[in-house]
Amino acid sequence: MIGRFQPFHKGHLQLSKQILRECNELIIAIGSAQFNYIYKDPFTAGERVLMIHAALLESGLDLAKCYIIPIANDENNARWLGQLKSMVPHFDVLYSGNEFVKVLAQQQPIRVKKPFFSKKDDYNGTNIRRHMAAAASVISSTKPRRKSQNWKRLVPNAVSRLIEEIDGVNRIKILLKSDSNPQRW
Amino acid sequence: MIGRFQPFHKGHLQLSKQILRECNELIIAIGSAQFNYIYKDPFTAGERVLMIHAALLESGLDLAKCYIIPIANDENNARWLGQLKSMVPHFDVLYSGNEFVKVLAQQQPIRVKKPFFSKKDDYNGTNIRRHMAAAASVISSTKPRRKSQNWKRLVPNAVSRLIEEIDGVNRIKILLKSDSNPQRW
Amino acid sequence: MIGRFQPFHKGHLQLSKQILRECNELIIAIGSAQFNYIYKDPFTAGERVLMIHAALLESGLDLAKCYIIPIANDENNARWLGQLKSMVPHFDVLYSGNEFVKVLAQQQPIRVKKPFFSKKDDYNGTNIRRHMAAAASVISSTKPRRKSQNWKRLVPNAVSRLIEEIDGVNRIKILLKSDSNPQRW
Amino acid sequence: MIGRFQPFHKGHLQLSKQILRECNELIIAIGSAQFNYIYKDPFTAGERVLMIHAALLESGLDLAKCYIIPIANDENNARWLGQLKSMVPHFDVLYSGNEFVKVLAQQQPIRVKKPFFSKKDDYNGTNIRRHMAAAASVISSTKPRRKSQNWKRLVPNAVSRLIEEIDGVNRIKILLKSDSNPQRW
Amino acid sequence: MIGRFQPFHKGHLQLSKQILRECNELIIAIGSAQFNYIYKDPFTAGERVLMIHAALLESGLDLAKCYIIPIANDENNARWLGQLKSMVPHFDVLYSGNEFVKVLAQQQPIRVKKPFFSKKDDYNGTNIRRHMAAAASVISSTKPRRKSQNWKRLVPNAVSRLIEEIDGVNRIKILLKSDSNPQRW
Amino acid sequence: MIGRFQPFHKGHLQLSKQILRECNELIIAIGSAQFNYIYKDPFTAGERVLMIHAALLESGLDLAKCYIIPIANDENNARWLGQLKSMVPHFDVLYSGNEFVKVLAQQQPIRVKKPFFSKKDDYNGTNIRRHMAAAASVISSTKPRRKSQNWKRLVPNAVSRLIEEIDGVNRIKILLKSDSNPQRW
């Protein structure tokens, strides 16, 4: 499976489980690996590896059957599948609901399988980052804590714990502000 | 002449003819060569080479006087003309209506000549891709076929034939949808 | 201090003076060095070096205490500080009001100091480029000259003189027009 | 630990065990990830991930404590540690016998620890590739089989099995020949 | 067919003819397109396009069946075929005597055909550049002219004419000297 | 003037003085700016800026007339002059004894002037790095100190002082050893 995993959420975890039911091994390719500290891509590839590893472990999946691999983007889309194949172990099936991936893969001996995502509007990186940006700061806020921590129920516990350890909510707030700042430098 | 040629249309063909009337040889530099499978840049450089070659041939131009060459972009604009000159045969005149190209070329011994484009609003990549994205699928549509194939009269026959061979209209529809999809990966 | 300096304005000059009052030496790192001839980044790194050098000299600062160094961007933000440190002389303090820079620097032995910028809405690259784009051409305009030259009072004299020498106002107008032109190539 | 792992050999495996005795978790960073099908770098990053994963598993190490991550090179050495840190989970200790790595790390809060490598002349990528290139082809050779398979005793069984599956010995022979061929293209 | 064509020689021309006898169309992919003014790669991609075009024309081949396309290198060999396919029109057969190319292509629906090269030791870029570097300058030399112009009989007439127009022999001599000069900058 | 300045030596300083006698201003372009911690390129661009600045200051040159600017390499030589021009202030004369630079510049309105270098075999980066690598460590050596510090008399005092501050001799020794080590990673 492929994703940016900014962050890894419960929809991703469900898909991981589905794949391990249907295949012998699971490769999780972390796209846009070179991006970080951007509102759309707040976490480094290394932080994302850590979150995914911890979430799989927490949910009892067998890490001996999993590969978690960061992949830098390739601006030449037609070459991207070659880039992907050179960076991960051999695979036969690619899980993606994206028609675009299907089109790129169609000239290769790769089967593209559409995953089933439940609660797509909730379990969705854009939505989760928005919740995080809106999260009331623990200290200054007077809003009820429940609401301000909405994002936590959308990601595995292991992920929310790691995001707190690296003060990720605060990072996202700062990035939201400075990305739209014309004087970033 | 320089362009992205997404796709090569009748305005481009007219300019090709004009240049071959006014000069000994014609160099067609295909810009943004590394981009493809993006809504704004749907076709690979190789597909564009093929379309242009076929369109020139179809309209009776002498291929022995033509060079069709893909050029990757250069993020440093001030260096771009050096990039261009290293990738194509020596040239004296650059046909471009773009003031920007004129400014870049002004310190070089290159003459910039403004091309005459007729029907600029029709013969225009953005417009043509919009028509393609809107084209009714042959099977599912109930709209009259004439309207849904509007884009075909804007490009040389050879080009529309090649686009159909590679199922280009469908590709553009998928790209339009997935480019605007925040979860592309 | 870090900036894109498109162009170097009076707010930047004030900060330069402040730094030289508080530190032994001043390093001015010119970001986005590889970009130029874009509306948002109209001047080359070389032109910006020249403007800054001339402005510091004009205002009586001691060039023997100043380093003016272009730095190409790094798409990997987490690596950017390493890029910066490899390109400029050793520094202890980084002047930046940007929270984002502060976050990136926090794991390094670097002190981030918030500069005091007066008249931030005026002394501001975006604002100045907008004024320049709106500047009436000396020849064709019938508007009063004062208004059309508004941008000049926002930058040091040395800078406005250099921009006129390279016909910078005209360049910005052309870039504004061609950047939004879907047929740039 | 850092290496190119072309291929992953018994010395690497010993170090992996040492690190897991001395630390809670092990990160194996695969350098030069973008290189492959070169005599010096015959295997893709994905193939190397697979070999390492299989070798750790075979020797009974707990994969839940291991991270295996390909890292592209950075031509700016002074920035390399920033690149590494952005691509892998947080680490406190870097195992490297290389003085060069020690010098790069000395301004960072990272402890560099010298690994103990036994049989360094045998357990050594250059040596192993040389043995592979010299390996008699199973079919054509009349040399005793033992000698021709010398390289196998230098790598974990899982690694030699995978190399045979992808016909790696033959690949190395071809690369040795074509790398030194001035007409490679 | 693929090559660096530094320069395009009679062996290349023979292969071009062979391919046009055996196939409908001929694609000539010029590798290492971004390199030039190096002893090993003296000519720009544009100059090489010009030489090849002229040589095909001179020998009576039909340019309407030929595509001459510069391709930048890809440091990731496993991805290179994807790069090639995105830059040239669709092809079914790849002519290459290089085992390495055969290995890269083996997982793709591409047929690799071994070309027949006669006089491989003469018709060979390295050999020809050596002859050019050794060529006595027309003016200063006292050696017999025949010997000093040895390289000319190894390339098509059109190519030797173009090399003389751009003073290519002198360029190669300078590059040979400055490449081995430790103070090149 | 252009150079890698690894390190900036007395020959470079002499040329700086010559240029300031013959021209109004001096631009020192530091090539291969992105390389560092390699035996051939031991110092970062920032360290080289510092050395040059200090050496000019020490020898009484007017820094208000000098620009010291790091430039990353461009693998496309034919485009390199465009890269250079975009990164430094406008210049009319390029001081270089290198025939290669002369060839690249010959189609531009730039005058190439051959500098006079005295003691070229001594004042020479390769020679100086060799001396540094051979320098006896102050502590462990039993060789006479004079000989072991040979490199110091070849560079300006300011440069040798800075190299000692960053322990540069030791760095060069480590790089010499690890560059030639096939197991660098």
pLDDT of E118:
82
- Residue F29 pLDDT level (bands cut at 50, 70, 90): very high
> What is the pLDDT at residue C185?
58
Q: Which chains touch C (3 or more CB pairs under 8 A)?
A: A, B, D, F
Instruction: Write out pLDDT tens, residues F66-76.
Output: 999 999 999 99
Average pLDDT over residues B151-176: 96
Query: Per-residue pLDDT tens for F97-111?
Result: 888 888 888 878 889
Distance CA F171, CA F185 (A): 18
Yes or no, beta carbons of D185 and E2 under 8 Å apart = yes
Over residues B14-33, the mean pLDDT reads 97
For the CA atoms of C78, C79, C84, C87, what is the dihedral angle to 10 degrees?
180
Q: In this structure, are strands A111-113 and B2-3 parallel, antiparallel, or unpaired?
A: unpaired
What is the token pair recorded at F85? 């021009």
Query: CB distance D3–F178 less than 8 Å?
Result: no
CA distance D50 to chain A (A): 6
Q: pLDDT-derived band of residue E67, with 50, 70 and 90 as boundaries?
A: very high
Structure confidence at residue C183 as a pLDDT band (50, 70, 90): low
**F41 within 8 A of F69, measured Cβ to Cβ:** no
B4 φ/ψ angles, rounded to the nearest 5 degrees: -90, -25
Is residue A146 pLDDT above 60, yes or no? Answer: no
Mean pLDDT of F67-94: 95
Name the interface residues of C facing D (CB cutoff 8 Å).
74, 76, 78-83, 85-86, 107, 109
Using left for φ > 0, alpha for ψ between -120 and 50, and beta otherwise, residue E61 falls in beta
Output the pLDDT for position C18. 96
| E87 contact residues in B (CB cutoff 8 A) | 33, 44-46, 70
Distance separating alpha carbons of residues C155 and B1, to the nearest angstrom: 39
Instruction: State phi, psi for A173 to the nearest 5 degrees.
Output: -60, -45
Could you tell me how many CB contacts below 8 A there are between chain A and chain D? Answer: 68
Q: What are the residue ranges of helices labelled H in A38-90?
A: 45-58, 77-87
Residues of chain D scoring pLDDT < 70: 136-147, 179-185
- According to the model, what pLDDT value does residue B17 have? 97
Closest-CA residue of D relative to A31 is D87
What does the alpha-carbon distance between residue F146 and residue F156 come to, in Å, rounded to a whole number? 17
The structure tokens listed for E22 are 């055996």
Q: What is the pLDDT of residue F147?
A: 57
Q: What is the pLDDT of residues F33-61, one digit of tens each?
A: 999 999 999 999 999 999 999 999 999 99
Q: Do A63 and D68 touch (CB under 8 A)?
A: no
User: Which among E46, E47, E86 has the least Cβ separation from residue B44?
Assistant: E86
Predicted pLDDT at A96: 87
Minimal C-alpha gap between C87 and chain D (Å): 9
Shortest Cα distance, chain E CAs vs residue A77, angstroms: 9
Touching pair C, E by Cβ (3+ pairs < 8 Å): no
Whether C89 and F64 lie within 8 Å, measured CB to CB: no
With bands split at pLDDT 50, 70 and 90, how would you rate the model's confidence at A145?
low
Q: Give this prediction's pTM.
A: 0.94
pLDDT tens digit sequence for F139-179: 455 555 555 788 999 999 999 999 999 999 999 999 998 86
* C15 pLDDT tier (thresholds 50, 70, 90): very high
- By C-alpha distance, the chain F residue nearest C56 is F64
**Residue B120 — φ and ψ, nearest 5°?**
-60, -30
pLDDT at C103: 87
Interface-testing mutation among F63, F65, F74, with chain C (most C C-beta atoms within 10 A): F63
pLDDT (average), residues E157-165 = 98
Q: What's residue A53's pLDDT?
A: 98
CA dist D114 and D137 (Å) reads 38
* D42-to-A82, C85, D89, D185 alpha-carbon distances in Å: 16, 34, 27, 18
C151-174 pLDDT, tens digit per residue, is 999 999 999 999 999 999 999 999
* AA letter at F121: D
User: What confidence tens digit (pLDDT) does each residue in B25-68 have?
Assistant: 999 999 999 999 999 999 999 999 999 999 999 999 999 999 99
By CB neighbour count within 10 A (0-12 exposed, 13-18 middle, 19+ buried), where does A83 fall? buried
Under 8 Å between Cβ of F55 and F8: yes
Where is average pLDDT lowest: B58-67, C42-51, E141-150?
E141-150
Three-state DSSP class for B39? coil
Instruction: Choose, out of A77, A80, A119, A123, the residue to mutate when testing the contact with B (most B CBs < 10 Å).
Output: A77
Using CA coordinates, name the residue in chain C closest to D83. C79
Query: pLDDT over 90 for what percent of chain E?
Result: 74
Do the chains contact at C49 and F36, CB–CB below 8 Å?
Answer: no
Q: Which residues, in sequence order, are CB contacts of F130 under 8 Å at separation 6+?
A: none
Closest chain F C-alpha to E180 CA, distance in angstroms: 12
Indicate the pLDDT class of residue E109, thresholds 50, 70 and 90.
confident
Smallest CA–CA distance, residue F172 to chain D, in Å, is 10
D124/F35 touch (CB, cutoff 8 Å), yes or no? no
Cβ-based contacts of F98 with chain E (< 8 Å): 178, 181, 183-185
Percent of chain D with pLDDT over 70: 90
Q: What is the predicted pLDDT for the residue at E159?
A: 98
| Least Cα separation, residue F144 to chain C (angstroms) | 33
Distance of CA E122 to the CA centre of its chain: 14
Write out chain B residues lying below 8 Å of A2, CB-based: 185
Per-residue model confidence (pLDDT) at position F144: 54
E77-87 helix and B45-58 helix, angle to the nearest 10 degrees: 20
Beta strand D2-3 with C111-113: parallel, antiparallel or unpaired? unpaired
ipTM of this complex: 0.92
Q: Of residues C139 and B9, which shows the higher confidence score?
A: B9
**Residue ranges of domains in chain E, CATH in brackets:** 1-185 (3.40.50.620)
Does B143 score more than 80 pLDDT? no
**For residue range D34-51, what is the model confidence (pLDDT) as tens digits?**
999 999 999 999 999 999
Please answer yes or no on whether B86 and F78 come within 8 Å at the CB atom.
Answer: yes
What is the pLDDT of chain A when averaged over all its residues?
Answer: 90
Residue contact A86–D57, C-beta within 8 A? no
